[in-house]
Amino acid sequence: MNRIQHLIIGAGPAGLAMAGRMRKAGLDFEIIEQSNKVGNTWHNHYDRLHLHTVKQWSHLPHLPFPADYPLYVSRQQLTQYFANYAAHFKIQPHFDVQATAITKQTDGSWKVQTQNGKTYLAENVIISTGVNRVPNRPEWPGQEKFKGSITHSVSYKNPSPYIGKSVLVVGMGNTGAEVALDLSEKGVDTYISVRHPISVVPRDLNGRPVQVTSKQLAKLPLGLGDWLGSQIRKIYFGNLSKYGLESSTMHPAVQLRETGKTPIVDIGTIKAIKEGKIKVVKEIDHFTETGVQFKTGEHIALDAVLLATGYKAKVEDFLERAEELLDQYGCPSQPIAEAFHQGIYFLGFDNYKLGGIIGTINTDSQLILEHLQK
């Protein structure tokens, strides 16, 4: 059994950020990664993906993006940056090693068992497996009879397999909105199922990133910034109800702070809906052999269904008594665990702040580092 002081689990952006900070601070660590590369999830995302957050607030600690990177960094550029980051800080993960059980020992240390039989005994474990670890795949009556395909968006790359087909995207978060746009731009007969009222903001307004504007509005007193933002959105998008979209009464910044749900950052989906290139439908009731019946009574014949239904962190799958640490959405509520879980840290799970998950990883990794150095 390998006894170490610090073990990082996961070599995505959170694990890399923690490793970079620890390397800079002179702390020794080991890092394990279940795949065969750093930033593996980002290698597998859909082709057109770009960060919706501006590059100056989206890099990892101690290493800004290259000067020639665009304002909104592409998936391909980001994966190259992750590889360069690992090389720069001499981060060498143990690849193809998946943590399967983390249990507390009588001396207060943590035993980490892995799928290949290797075991670590660590004083501190930084869990960096992220909020998007397990795809969420809801089920509906009759779906086993459906003759088309039902695929989670985790497997979606580009529209090529769907050309000439009729496709339903289920869920209008950022992924669903962008996948639907991607399909519609290639002439695919595209529908999007929207169950709940949506919060949507433009990515840019008059050539200025809305993220920058939002941070400035957040400094205004007594909710004035939220009110101004609401007025701007009403003017920019107009009345969306005529297109089948109900707007949330909760301001996007409030929604983010209170629920961790990121507003839709619009890069053209709303325009495509208004032009009829994406058809909005309501909640699914059941599947038929040829398509989907909605709760409105409408039936649509379909060739394929893409589930943009999100992910779950599911740290309870491997961490002892994890349920004690989770919020109502199943995510760790604090980056630094206490009491029974002293020595356990969570990085990459905080969706409640402006700036995007990578920006939050940057700040939370500093908090964790300072705690480790006490």
Please state the rounded mean pLDDT for residues 309-326: 96
- Whether residues 292 and 191 share a domain: the answer is yes
Residue pLDDT, tens place only, 180-233:
999 999 999 999 999 988 888 888 887 778 777 666 555 555 555 555 556 666
Read off the pTM: 0.91
Q: What is the 3-state secondary structure (H, E, C) of the chain?
A: CEEEEEEEECCCHHHHHHHHHHHHHCCCCEEEECCCCCCHHHHHCCCCCECCCCHHHCCCCCCCCCCCCCCCCEHHHHHHHHHHHHHHCCCCCEECCCEEEEEECCCCCEEEEECCCCEEEEEEEEECCCCCCEECCCCCCCHHHCCCEEEEHHHCCCCHHHCCCEEEEECCCHHHHHHHHHHHHCCCEEEEECCCCECEEECEECCEEHHHHHHHHCCCCCCHHHHHHHHHHHHHHCCCHHHCCCECCCCHHHHHHHHCCCCEEECCHHHHHHCCCEEEECCEEEECCCEEEECCCCEEECCEEEECCCEECCHHHCECCHHHHECCCCCECCCECCHHHCCEEECCCCCCCCCHHHHHHHHHHHHHHHHHCC
User: How many domains does the chain fold into?
Assistant: 2
- Whether residues 151 and 229 share a domain: the answer is yes
Q: Among 307, 322, 338, where does a domain finish? A: 307
pLDDT category at 258 given cuts 50, 70, 90 is low
Residue pLDDT, tens place only, 53-109:
899 989 999 999 999 999 999 999 999 999 999 999 999 999 999 999 999 999 999
- Whether residues 101 and 120 share a domain: the answer is yes
- Whether residues 274 and 339 share a domain: the answer is no
Q: What does the pLDDT read at residue 80?
A: 98
Give buried/exposed letters for 243-262 (b at 16+ CB in 10 A, else e).
Answer: bebebeebbbbebbeeebbb
Residue 302 has pLDDT above 70, yes or no: yes
| Of 161 and 263, more confident | 161
- Whether residues 239 and 355 share a domain: the answer is no
- Whether residues 302 and 268 share a domain: the answer is yes
Q: Among 277, 292, 307, where does a domain finish? A: 307
Cα separation, 60 vs 276, in Å, equals 40
Output the domain CATH number for residue 227: 3.50.50.60
Q: Among 307, 335, 355, where does a domain finish? A: 307
Enter the tokens of residue 373: 């150095």
Q: Are 161 and 190 in contact (CB under 8 A)?
A: no
Domain region containing 277 = 136-307
